[in-house]
Amino acid sequence: AQKVTQTQTSISVMEKTTVTMDCVYETQDSSYFLFWYKQTASGEIVFLIRQDSYKKENATVGHYSLNFQKPKSSIGLIITATQIEDSAVYFCAMREGNNYAQGLTFGLGTRVSVFP
Amino acid sequence: DMKVTQMPRYLIKRMGENVLLECGQDMSHETMYWYRQDPGLGLQLIYISYDVDSNSEGDIPKGYRVSRKKREHFSLILDSAKTNQTSVYFCASSSSTPSGNTLYFGEGSRLIVV
């Protein structure tokens, strides 16, 4: 069974710095997909970035990038040049490639607070 | 415009009343989902729908049923709501591509059962 664990419950950073948050996953499948979502204060859940397990290059979208360490079953999210509006809860999620029927499994989230 | 819309956004019901949560998407996505979000439990999958009249239980289906009569609409029904169904419910949709499904979420529906 798949499992996603985010060990950091909250992180505080100063504006314009870099924040890194961790996520480890468990799966028996050789093919899987990893996602990061952001939940804003209003409750909206927004897709940020994704990493497919067969890709060796770390995904990058805008000021979001991933640190994919497959041997460690780890997919960290890095946000550079943080802004106040990056304050949110960030969720890591996974889907096993052969388990299409089960949707995504989510971690419990990491709350990021960005201070001026 | 890619959008998932949920109605109503807020709802207060008495225990034993029926609840209907509706979801629409304008992306022609085949697959739709209902999740609930609770503190400490995160997002849990209730039901998944692969297309019209093709639905499957998720991890916590007990107490819920769903209906999908049009591809763009997916409803979550609580027959005789219980207080432990107080939660925030999220609908999501995705396309059925073999390369994996990125879920797009609605704004959420906050349900309080008293």
- Least Cα separation, residue A71 to chain B (angstroms): 21
Contact between A35 and A19 (Cβ < 8 Å)? no
How far does CA A71 lie from the centroid of its chain?
A: 17
| Sequence-ordered alpha helix ranges (H) in chain B | none
- Least Cα separation, residue A69 to chain B (angstroms): 20
How far does CA B63 lie from the centroid of its chain?
A: 13
pLDDT in tens, B2-13: 799 999 999 999
| Closest to B88 in 3D by CA, of B55, B20, B39, B48 | B39
Residues of B in contact with A35 (CB under 8 A): 102-103
B101 to chain A, any CB pair closer than 8 A? The answer is yes
B98: helix, coil or strand? coil
DSSP B85: G
- Interface A-B, measured as beta-carbon pairs within 8 A, has a size of 55
* Widest distance between CA atoms in chain B: 43
Is B40 close to A108, i.e. CB distance below 8 A? yes
Scan for tokens 């207060």, then name that residue.
Answer: B12
User: How does pLDDT run along chain B (114 residues), one tens digit per residue?
Assistant: 679 999 999 999 999 999 999 999 998 889 999 999 999 889 999 999 999 999 999 999 999 999 999 999 999 999 999 999 999 999 999 887 766 578 999 999 999 999
| Closest to A34 in 3D by CA, of A71, A59, A61 | A59
Contact between A40 and A46 (Cβ < 8 Å)? yes
A86: helix, coil or strand? helix
Both tokens assigned to A113: 């607070």
Is A103 close to B42, i.e. CB distance below 8 A? no
Scan for tokens 């859940």, then name that residue.
Answer: A45
- Measured CA to CA, the distance from residue A86 to residue B48 in angstroms comes to 30
- Least Cα separation, residue B43 to chain A (angstroms): 6
**Alpha-carbon Rg for chain B in angstroms:** 13
Residue from the list A50, A97, A101 with its beta carbon closest to the beta carbon of B102? A50
User: How does pLDDT run along chain A (116 residues), one tens digit per residue?
Assistant: 789 999 999 999 999 999 999 999 999 888 899 999 999 999 999 999 999 999 999 999 999 999 999 999 999 999 999 999 999 999 999 998 766 556 899 999 999 999 99
Is B56 close to A95, i.e. CB distance below 8 A? no
Residue from the list A46, A102, A108 with its beta carbon closest to the beta carbon of B42? A108
- Least Cα separation, residue A112 to chain B (angstroms): 16
B76: helix, coil or strand? strand
